Amino acid sequence: MFTTVGILTKPQFTDIQPVLARLVGWLRSHQKQVILSPETASLLNESTPYQFSDLATLTDLMIVLGGDGTMLSAARLVEERSVPILGVNMGGLGFLTETTVDCLFESLEKVFSQDYYLDTRLRLQSHIYRQARHVAQATALNDVVLSKGTLGRMITVHIQIDKRFVSNLRGDGIIIASPTGSTAYSLSAGGPILDPSLEVLVITPISPHTLTHRPLLVPSRAQIEIRLTSPHPAIATLDGQVGFELQGGDTLTVSMGIHRTRLIRFPDRSYYDILRAKLKWGDG
């Protein structure tokens, strides 16, 4: 049973205040301890003894008021403890969220009566090496993207999987996506839609110079190495929120992460229902 609830809100979204006030009041009336960051507490004109990091260390349930971007931030924040996340869509598409503001309190009743299941999602781990020296690392739920950055030039990369040569790719970049991320940037670049329960990764070229470079599925246990062989810099971004600059000769590695993201789902809706509702998949 969840007793300590953290709330993460969409940044600088002042219109969220009425919903936040009702949510906090409801939780407290049901004897739940509510953890608010200073930024969120200020929306209610409250002070709080907690810091933003306490959302990750003290909560056993995370409620997200926002869209997919806020969900990705929450997943990264609580990844080490795999705190269950209930997403309430207050953004645009809201593909990762599970409920809406209109159904929020009905959904919470289901959660606290244990009428839900946990949808466990694979995460990605990425490292950057420069002249054999480790210089950066980060994780992602959706994808790791290596792209040409602000310059209009194509980049060239050397791709290996499990130390075996795969291909040299010239184009605007390359996406390594999890099954969760298969409906994000990878889909826009021509990648396949993957059921999120699959244990695979998808490698999707971005505008490849050679049309025979098509998306490739690999096992989730694969170790993917991408070396930037063009001389000008490129940008690695994780979930579109964390970024690093790569220089010519740098290597980006991507593999399955050691932690998983757990999303709260309700039995009356399947992943395929979400595909039809959110992406209009299969509409004729």
Rounded CA gap, 183 and 242, in Å?
Answer: 19
Q: Is there a catalytic annotation at residue 115?
A: no
- Name residue 201's amino acid: L
- Catalytic residue (one of 54, 60, 68, 172): 68
Catalytic residues: 68
